[in-house]
């Protein structure tokens, strides 16, 4: 069956779901000649978008080979004369791949060029890397059939100061989309010297604990330096007043503003936001500390071009009612690529190789707290059932309301990984069971304990270290062979010398061997004994035989 090109493009756009959809899109190349010619345009419209796929593929640099074959012979000869090792005889590509390029993602593009230079010539030859980058950027500019969107995602691990060195000005001078995930002193000042035509700006301030005002001031200065900013999106921005005031300088051009998990404490007015009369999209998601006084300028403002207004899980009822009264579309998944970042891509970058600081393993069902730290869902929920602060010592932000935890998309195999980790943890627990002695307990009953001895303080704290280690063994005395498994349900740290906790007795166990001591308390290898309930109505004969 023949499908028109327009229909095929709609199908391909539907299948284009970020990194997870890459293999599906590649399979479309093999369906037919017609499908192949249409899918090539989709795959090569943003070839450096798939950063995760590139990082896992040692041959990712070969995409540079493909683009170098698209150069005219005169340009290739110039490169050869300047030390670039290019073959004189080569196979011309089947397609003019450079004409499909619509979105240039600098982060992966630069990485691929450096990998190519290391593979083909002397390692760390910066002159060759710079020459190839300039040549390919010129190719993309001249040959792209549409205006090239230049996107720069700056993450902490990607050496952010590289982009703001004066010698790299040619790289980022024409960038029109910037997403920043860090706060480095003077970074935004240096970035603004080369980037003044940014149309789409996003900022995510995570892993910084109690985010100080200097970060917001730097973001605000960068906004005011732009000529015509069209969209501003932020996640975990604190001390927002400076940023709100800066938006007024871009009121003539701003089309989209989005606040996600933003803390408005200390903010006194949304007057700068109310001045942006050309807004088409306005969103508040999981924002808090918003008062009626703060939003009063917004309630009186007019937004004649507004087509999408969302107020989701935000702690101001008046703001919710105002949004409902305007009767506009409020779909959280509303997308307009012209004025928005691909937040799915941002989430993937946020969580790439992300470790949970509670279980020290890669995050599954990841949640990010209001202070910007990411943990496994089960880990952080278990922690918050006992404490009301961020687990990280350098942060300790109060997290009394789990409503403002940001839930990320999860992987398909997260459920399997979670179950495997539970089984592994239970196995380790049986090998190294912490032993508490001195009390007689019975299964299925709940007990309250006051702990004063330091060794048992350490035992209880070790049980709380991870979501699977909230269990310990109770013996009547250290000479007993059998004991009862206890599961901690509630705990209260009255002071440094006294811990009061509640635990339920679950199963009996038998000690197989001693494991010695750890921090003063005993550990042992145990075997769980599953007691079989007596049959109802069964008469127990106590007569001697």
| Same-domain check for residues 97 and 128 | yes
Please report whether residue 360 resides in a domain: yes
pLDDT score, position 415: 72
Tokens of 505: 């007795």
CATH code, 214: 3.80.10.10
Same domain, 288 and 340: yes
Query: Which range is least confidently modeled, 122-131, 205-214, 308-317?
Result: 205-214
Answer whether 478's CB lies under 8 Å from 509's CB: no
Q: What is the DSSP string of 150-213?
A: EEEEE-GGG-GGGGGSGGGHHHHTT--EEEE----TTHHHHHHHH----SEEEEE--S-SS--H
How big is the CA angle at 31 (ends 28 and 37), to the nearest 5 degrees?
A: 70
Whether 395 and 348 map to the same domain: the answer is no
3-state secondary structure of 528: strand
pLDDT at 288 over 60: yes
Residue 67 within any structural domain of the chain = yes
- C-alpha 2/C-alpha 463 separation (Å) is 63
- Residue 224's SS3 state is helix
Give the Cα separation of 421 and 467 in Å (integer).
10
Q: Which pLDDT belongs to residue 532?
A: 66
Q: Chain-wide mean pLDDT for the chain? A: 79
364 with 332, same domain: the answer is no
Q: In percent, how much of the chain has pLDDT > 90?
A: 17
Q: Please indicate, yes or no, if residue 419 is contained in any of the structural domains.
A: no
Identify the weakest region by mean pLDDT among 156-165, 473-482, 519-528: 156-165
Higher pLDDT, 392 or 329: 392
Q: What is the pLDDT of residue 420?
A: 78
Let me know how long the chain is.
Answer: 545
Q: Quick one: pLDDT band at residue 286, thresholds 50, 70, 90? A: confident
Same domain for 252 and 387? no
pLDDT at residue 544 in the model: 45
Q: Are 236 and 258 in contact (CB under 8 A)?
A: no
Confidence of residue 407 (pLDDT cuts 50, 70, 90): confident
Mean pLDDT of 440-457: 88
C-alpha to C-alpha distance for 404 and 527, rounded to whole angstroms: 42
Task: Report pLDDT digits (tens) over 124-146.
Answer: 566 788 888 888 888 888 887 66
* pLDDT value, residue 342: 61
In tens, the pLDDT along 342-374 reads 665 565 555 555 678 787 777 778 887 767 678
Question: DSSP code of 103?
Answer: E
Does some domain include residue 450?
yes
Q: Is 454 among the domain residues?
A: yes
Pairwise CA distance, residues 341 & 151, whole Å: 9
Instruction: Give me the mean pLDDT over the 394-415 stretch.
Output: 69
User: Is 502 part of any domain?
Assistant: yes
Query: How much is the pTM?
Result: 0.63
Are both 36 and 50 inside the same structural domain? Answer: no
Tokens standing for residue 259: 């606040």
- Which of 396-405, 454-463, 532-541 is predicted least confidently? 532-541
For position 256, what pLDDT does the model report?
A: 93
Same domain, 331 and 222: yes
What CATH number has the domain bearing residue 369? Answer: 3.30.40.10
Kindly state whether residue 422 falls inside one of the protein's structural domains: no
**Contacts of 14-23 spanning 24+ positions with Cβ under 8 A:** 16/42, 17/344, 18/342, 18/344, 18/345, 18/348, 19/50, 19/52, 19/53, 19/348, 22/50, 22/53
Q: pLDDT category, 430, cuts 50, 70, 90?
A: confident
Instruction: Please report, for residues 19, 331, 347, the alpha-carbon distance to residue 334 in angstroms, rounded to integers and kept in the order given.
Output: 20, 5, 17
Of 172, 182, 130, the closest CA to residue 151 belongs to: 172
Q: Give me the pLDDT at residue 55, please.
A: 59
Domain extent at residue 86: 45-147
Q: In the structure, what pLDDT confidence band is assigned to residue 469 with cuts at 50, 70 and 90?
A: low
Q: Are residues 140 and 62 in the same domain?
A: yes
pLDDT band at 36 (very low <50, low <70, confident <90, very high): confident
The total domain count for the chain is 5
Q: What is the mean pLDDT of residues 420-432?
A: 78
Q: How far apart are CA 190 and CA 152, in angstroms?
A: 15
Confidence of residue 21 (pLDDT cuts 50, 70, 90): low
What CATH number does the domain containing 487 carry? Answer: 2.30.130.40
Judge whether 342 lies within some domain.
Answer: yes
Span of 7-11, 70-74, 344-348, 422-426 with lowest mean pLDDT? 344-348
How far apart, in whole angstroms, are the C-alpha atoms of residue 263 and residue 26? 42
53 and 137 share a domain?
yes
Say if residue 342 is in the same domain as residue 366: no
Domain end position, chosen among 43, 59, 77: 43
The answer, yes or no, to whether residue 191 has pLDDT greater than 70, is yes
Residue 284 to residue 269: CA distance in whole angstroms: 15
Same structural domain, 201 and 264: yes
Sign (positive or negative) of CA dihedral 487, 490, 495, 498: negative
The reply to whether 462 and 516 lie within a common domain is yes
pLDDT recorded at residue 79: 87
Please report where in the chains the tokens 């005011």 appear, as a residue. 224
């Amino acid at each position: 069956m023949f499908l028109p090109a327009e229909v095929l493009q709609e199908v391909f756009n539907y299948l284009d779901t970020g990194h997870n959809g890459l293999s599906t899109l590649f399979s479309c190349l093999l369906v037919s000649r017609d499908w192949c010619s249409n899918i090539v345009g989709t795959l090569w419209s943003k070839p450096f978008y798939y950063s995760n796929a590139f990082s896992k593929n040692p041959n990712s640099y070969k995409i540079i080979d493909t683009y170098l074959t698209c150069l005219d012979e005169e340009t290739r000869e110039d490169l050869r004369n300047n030390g670039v090792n290019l073959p004189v005889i080569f196979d011309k590509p089947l397609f003019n791949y450079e004409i499909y390029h619509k979105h240039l993602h600098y982060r992966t593009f630069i990485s691929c060029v450096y990998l190519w230079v290391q593979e083909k010539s002397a390692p760390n030859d910066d002159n060759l890397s710079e020459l190839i980058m300039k040549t390919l950027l010129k190719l993309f500019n001249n040959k792209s059939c549409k205006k090239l969107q230049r996107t720069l995602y700056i993450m902490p691990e990607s050496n952010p100061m590289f982009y703001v060195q004066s010698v790299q000005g040619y790289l980022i001078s024409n960038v029109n989309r910037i997403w920043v995930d860090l706060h480095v002193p003077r970074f935004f000042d240096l970035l603004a010297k080369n980037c003044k035509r940014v149309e789409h700006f996003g900022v995510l301030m995570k892993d910084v604990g109690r985010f100080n005002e200097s970060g917001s001031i730097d973001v605000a200065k960068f906004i005011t330096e732009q000529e015509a900013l069209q969209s501003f999106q932020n996640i975990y921005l604190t001390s927002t007043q400076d940023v709100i005031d800066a938006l007024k300088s871009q009121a003539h051009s701003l089309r989209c503003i989005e606040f996600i998990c933003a803390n408005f404490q200390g903010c006194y007015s949304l007057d700068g936001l109310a001045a942006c009369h050309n807004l088409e999209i306005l969103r508040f998601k999981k924002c808090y500390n918003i008062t009626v006084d703060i939003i009063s300028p917004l309630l009186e403002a007019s937004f004649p071009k507004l087509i999408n207004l969302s107020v989701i899980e935000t702690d101001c009822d008046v703001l919710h009612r105002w949004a409902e009264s305007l009767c506009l579309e409020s779909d959280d998944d509303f997308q307009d690529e012209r004025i928005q970042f691909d937040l799915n891509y941002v989430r993937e970058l946020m969580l790439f190789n992300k470790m949970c600081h509670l279980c020290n393993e890669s995050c599954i069902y990841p949640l990010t707290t209001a202070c910007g730290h990411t943990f496994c869902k089960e880990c952080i929920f278990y922690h918050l059932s006992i404490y009301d602060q961020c687990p990280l010592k350098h942060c300790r932000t109060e997290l009394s309301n789990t409503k403002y935890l940001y839930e990320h998309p999860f992987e398909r195999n997260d459920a399997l990984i979670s179950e495997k980790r539970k089984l592994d943890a239970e196995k380790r627990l049986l090998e190294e069971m912490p032993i508490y002695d001195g009390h007689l307990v019975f299964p299925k009953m709940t007990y309250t304990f006051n702990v004063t001895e330091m060794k048992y303080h350490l035992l209880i704290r070790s049980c709380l270290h991870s979501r699977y280690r909230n269990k310990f063994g109770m013996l009547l005395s250290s000479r007993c062979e059998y004991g009862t498994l206890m599961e901690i349900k509630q705990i209260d740290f009255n002071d440094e010398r006294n811990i009061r906790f509640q635990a339920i007795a679950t199963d009996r166990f038998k000690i197989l061997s001693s494991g010695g001591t750890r921090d003063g308390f005993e550990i042992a290898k145990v075997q769980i004994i599953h007691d079989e309930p007596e049959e109802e109505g069964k008469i127990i004969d106590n007569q001697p035989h």
